[in-house]
Amino acid sequence: MDTATTIDDLDWRQHAACRPTPELFFTGSKERNARAVHICTNHCPVLRQCRDDAIAAKPAHCVQAGIVWIGPKSGTEGRVGAYQPQARGCGSECGR
């Protein structure tokens, strides 16, 4: 590989963290979606390329690029956004 070649120049999907478990990335329970989002946002070396692709493709009913994408509703596509589990405070000592 030429040293000037970057991951952008290659088929970035070959490097995606979701490759070993693609079935996890089709929307399901909140826990399953949260696990998929965690893999995307914390372990994927091609998150930027994936997000660019997702914005262009407007996926439906899946987790892609750390975003839970919903299908068309009333003729419009939408996205839920990165799934955030219910926030839990750490106690009075930190003020949350």
pLDDT tens-place string over residues 72-88: 654 444 555 544 433 33
How many domains is the chain partitioned into structurally? 1
Residue 73 within a domain: yes
In terms of residue numbers, what domain contains 36? 16-83
- pLDDT at position 7 is 57
User: 74's torsion region: left (phi>0), alpha (psi -120 to 50) or beta?
Assistant: left
Residue 88 within a domain: no
pLDDT > 70? residue 19: yes
Residue 44 within a domain: yes
* Bridge partners (DSSP) listed for residue 62: 26, 69
Residue 91 within a domain: no
- pLDDT at position 32 is 92
Residue with tokens 């419009």: 76
Residue 8 within a domain: no
pLDDT tens per residue across span 35-72: 999 999 999 999 999 999 888 888 888 999 999 988 76
Residue 61 within a domain: yes
